Amino acid sequence: MTAPVPIEAALESLYRQLDGPPLVAQSHCVDGLLDCWNAATSDLVRHLVADLLSDIRHLTAVRASALRDRLAEISAALAVELAFSQTAQTAQTVPAVSA
């Protein structure tokens, strides 16, 4: 098993904070999301995190279930980007077959 990349660790940490009460203080969400944004190397993931930050900026509390759903979208986007980058790396390392 490979070690998680920083964004995965940041997402996992935020997921763990959502175990418990149905409402989470907006400030805790912002802190966790900023950690995710800082750890992200992908523009797409940063865009999704920024959208979520924008959506919760005027709230005092965030429904944990709604936040989990949005984090799942971010995780899915990250998984797709990682798969594409691995495919691109594999394509670059496979020698061309001559006929």
The domains of the chain are located at 6-84
Q: State pLDDT tens for residues 65-99.
A: 999 999 999 999 999 988 888 776 666 665 655 55
Residue 42 CA: distances (Å) to CA of 7, 46, 54, 92, 99: 10, 6, 18, 20, 38
pLDDT for 98? 59
Task: Select from 44, 29, 85, 43 the least CA-distant residue to 93.
Answer: 85
Measured CA to CA, the distance from residue 86 to residue 99 in angstroms comes to: 26
pTM value? 0.79
pLDDT for 4? 56
Q: State pLDDT tens for residues 12-57.
A: 999 998 888 899 999 999 999 999 999 998 899 999 999 999 999 9
Measured CA to CA, the distance from residue 98 to residue 3 in angstroms comes to: 37
* Residue 20, phi-psi category: left (phi > 0), alpha (psi -120 to 50), beta (remainder): left
